[in-house]
Amino acid sequence: MNVQRRKIGDREVYPVGLGCMNICHAYGPPLPEDEARALLVKAFDLGYDFFDTATLYGFGRSEELIGEALGAHRQDLFLASKCVLGFRDGKRILDGRPEVIKAACEASLKRLKTDVIDLYYLHRPDPNVPIEDSVGALADLVSEGKIRFAGLSEMGAEQLRRGAAVHPITAMQSEYSLWVRNPEIAVMQACEELGTALVAFSPVGRGFLADPPADPATFHETDMRLSIFPRFKAENYAGNLPLLDAAKAMAEEVGCSVAELAIAWTLAKGPNVLPIPGTTNLKHLEENFRAAEVTLTSDQVARLDAHFAPERAVGPRYNAMGQASVTTEMYDFERADG
């Protein structure tokens, strides 16, 4: 099947990219490094060309693995990384000062083994630094040829517009899936107005929209889904499981897996939407890639929209600590539960 590529900046990429967080941390122990490199090479061989990482992932190790595994193919890749959320002396930090952003970029360039990063995001807003100052640093990095495009992550429409007034924002990265619809409140409209791509992370609902769905009872004790994401708490998770019945029925109707359906739904939400599912599983890597071949009718999309209406989710997206670090708009029911 001939898959229509999607534009990000001045590049056209395969519609489904690869999020490179959980090869190093987040959902339990990291992959053994030889397996992580093999997964990255397999992704490239399949046809993935948009790889999304961050300074924070594995405290820089995700970037290094990409540089090691795919450095020889640099000209064929669209590389994205992130700053502001970083690390110092082995501890997580949040620092959006221009000089810190520029130093972080230099370090990322070395780890990625490249002279330029295609897309460089502010990973989170720094409440102590005006967004205009942080985006100004990205503008300087573009002028210096260190990065090609500027991006924001987990921010609301107001900050997107404020940032875009300083320098064009090529992409906004937000969590977006059938289970997490928050960008529909305001961010998607702002992206459309500004010509900004929406890079949808966790389009498979952090594993919830898989078949079988991720089961909290099997999570490793270090899996951050147990501590940061209330929808995976036992009582909330049980309340969310019935949502999957319609997804399974629709997947059977379409002739695909639930994960493919979930990714295809994000793709159906607009030509500027680019999902970046992450995985440590080679079978899932192939499955996610195939999702770009799944076409949903407008009726199927509308039925999924209705069944996964935001208020039907049980529990807020983040706990209080997680929510405090983002400015993405919230639904009223999340405020009540938070």
- Sorted by where each begins, the domain ranges of the chain are 6-208+259-295
| Catalytic positions | 57
According to DSSP, the residues that pair with 85 across neighbouring strands are 94
* pLDDT tens sequence across 68-91: 999 999 999 999 999 999 888 878
Taking the C-alpha atoms of residue 234 and residue 178, their distance in angstroms, rounded to an integer, is 20
Q: What is the pTM of this model?
A: 0.96
Taking the C-alpha atoms of residue 274 and residue 4, their distance in angstroms, rounded to an integer, is 12
- Determine the CATH number of domain 6-208+259-295: 3.20.20.100
Averaged pLDDT, groups of 10, the chain, 338 residues long: 92 98 90 96 98 95 97 97 90 93 98 98 97 98 98 98 98 98 98 98 97 93 93 95 96 98 98 97 97 98 97 94 93 72
